[in-house]
Amino acid sequence: MSKPKVALLGLGIMGTGMARRLLSAQFPLAVYNRNHDKCLPLTKEGALAAQTPREAATGAQIVISMVANDDASRGMWLGENGALAGAPPNCLLIESSTLTVAWIQDLAATALQRGFQFLDAPVTGTKPHAASGELTFLVGGSSAAVAAAQAVFSVLGRETIHLGPTGSGALMKLINNFVCGVQAASFAEALSLIDAGGLDRTKGMSVLTQGAPGSGIVKRVADRVNADDFAPNFALRWMAKDLSYALQEASARKVSLTTAAAALSIFQNAIANGHADEDFSAVSKITQASRPLV
- C-beta of residue 246 within 8 angstroms of C-beta of residue 100: no
* Tens digit of pLDDT at every position of the chain (294 positions): 699 999 999 999 999 999 999 999 999 999 999 999 999 999 999 999 999 999 999 999 999 999 999 999 999 999 999 999 999 999 999 999 999 999 999 999 999 999 999 999 999 999 999 999 999 999 999 999 999 999 999 999 999 999 999 999 999 999 999 999 999 999 999 999 999 999 999 999 999 999 999 999 999 999 999 999 999 999 999 999 999 999 999 999 999 999 999 999 999 999 999 999 999 999 999 865 444 333
- C-beta of residue 16 within 8 angstroms of C-beta of residue 39: no
Q: What is the pLDDT of residue 288?
A: 55
Q: Which fold has domain 171-290?
A: N-(1-d-carboxylethyl)-l-norvaline Dehydrogenase; domain 2 (1.10.1040)
- The candidate with the shortest Cα–Cα distance to 170, out of 101, 72, 77, is 101
pTM: 0.96
3-state secondary structure the chain: CCCCCEEEECCCHHHHHHHHHHHHCCCCEEEECCCHHHHHHHHCCCCEECCCHHHHHCCCCEEEECCCCHHHHHHHHCCCCCHHHHCCCCCEEEECCCCCHHHHHHHHHHHHHCCCEEEECCEECCHHHHHHCCEEEEEECCHHHHHHHHHHHHHHEEEEEEEECCCHHHHHHHHHHHHHHHHHHHHHHHHHHHHHCCCCHHHHHHHHHHCCCCCHHHHHHHHHHHHCCCCCCCEHHHHHHHHHHHHHHHHHCCCCCHHHHHHHHHHHHHHHCCCCCCEHHHHHHHHHHHCCCC
Model confidence pLDDT, tens digit, residues 36-78: 999 999 999 999 999 999 999 999 999 999 999 999 999 999 9
Model confidence pLDDT, tens digit, residues 230-263: 999 999 999 999 999 999 999 999 999 999 999 9
The residue type found at 286 is I
Q: Which fold has domain 6-164?
A: Rossmann fold (3.40.50)
Q: What is the pLDDT of residue 38?
A: 97
Give residue limits of the domains in the chain: 6-164, 171-290
Q: Do domains 6-164 and 171-290 have the same CATH topology?
A: no
> CB-based burial of residue 81 (10 Å sphere; 0-12 exposed, 13-18 middle, 19+ buried)?
middle
> CB-based burial of residue 218 (10 Å sphere; 0-12 exposed, 13-18 middle, 19+ buried)?
buried
